[in-house]
Amino acid sequence: MTKPLLFAALLLVLPAAQAQDWNDADPTELAQAAAHEAYTARLAGTLAKNGDARELALAALLRGLAARPPQDLATGGAAPSRAAPRDPEAEAWLRSAAARAGDDVIANQLLVAAAGADPSLRREAARRWQAADSGNLVPMLHAGLPVESLLVQARSATRADARMYEGVRWIMSVYGRSPPTAAEQSALTGGEAFHADEAAAVSAMGLWAAAAMPGYAALVDACGANMLRAVPARRDDCRHAANLLADRSGSIADEQAGLAMLRALASTPAERADVDARQRRMDWRMLQWGRAAQQQPRDGAAQFARLLADPSIRTEQQLVEHVLQEAGVSPEPPAGWTPPRR
């Protein structure tokens, strides 16, 4: 990541900074960490004072992520490896947010992400989200249900929509309303130019990836080949959930989880070939997206911010298609192409 985008990963910088040996850090790194800490603390306090459900939940989320060990930030929202110290003020923010969230999907998504060690708060927020978003599998994935109950409830689902870009766009607007000070901007970028829209877009996306992605492991394991042999009666329920994730989802991670389940469910050469072709297509698009970004200044942050600001782009898959189109790259892999890892 280039230095102008260091602020763009602000939710990832501080825990990593806390873990490294600052005896080896240069003055620029120390200034970046200090500026990040100051900005995050100030932003959380401002949000909490404003006092609506979304802002209170985001304030608690910012505070909680800063306290998590760096290895937990790679788990995509999974339970932390060890409990963070209690933060009574952030806990009060969460309680107040939960009391005010009602049927606000974004507020409840943020509460799910910020709940930390409070499973009852997470379950209740997921329940409110599900009630306000009938037919959506994703809030069920956040509800902490036993796998059998999850598969039964999923029978009524008609889509798997994390509503990712809705949440990310609102978080972007928060960063836009409360940017770092000029001094913080200079420190965060190592003295290089600060691009506010880019920083807001990539920071919001980094926050979402670090905290708000659903966990798929239990569902994927429950629908793995070994479990399907042991419990063949769940095959139809697994296939339904897999098809929703693979075909009717809004994020690449959802689609990947669905394809993994469909691979385990495949029972004929034709089904296996279909899953392989879909995975190959996804691998091609992800590789080309990365290459297109690397060929642009600041790893394509300006393009990402511009596309994310387009309300007609609802899903990550649509955004990838736009990136490839602008790069003049076919969304379909050429004949005979295989991913580099294979």
Q: Is the dihedral of CA 282, 283, 287, 288 positive or negative?
A: negative
> CA-to-CA distance for 97 and 110, rounded, in angstroms?
9
Q: Could you tell me the residue ranges of all domains in the chain? A: 3-211, 217-327
* Confidence at residue 75, expressed as pLDDT on a 0 to 100 scale: 44
The H-or-E segment that residue 62 falls in is helix 53-67
User: Which residues have C-beta within 8 Å of that of residue 73, sequence separation ≥ 6?
Assistant: 11, 12, 15, 16, 65, 210
104 closest CA partner among 132, 123, 124: 132
pLDDT value of position 67: 62
| pLDDT at residue 192 in the model | 86
Read off φ and ψ for residue 6, nearest 5 degrees.
-60, -40
Residue 63 CB neighbours (<10 A):
24
CA distance 330 to 165: 24
Q: Which residues of the chain fall below pLDDT 70?
A: 1-25, 67-84, 342
Number of C-alpha atoms within 13 angstroms, CB side, residue 40?
Answer: 28
DSSP class of 330: -
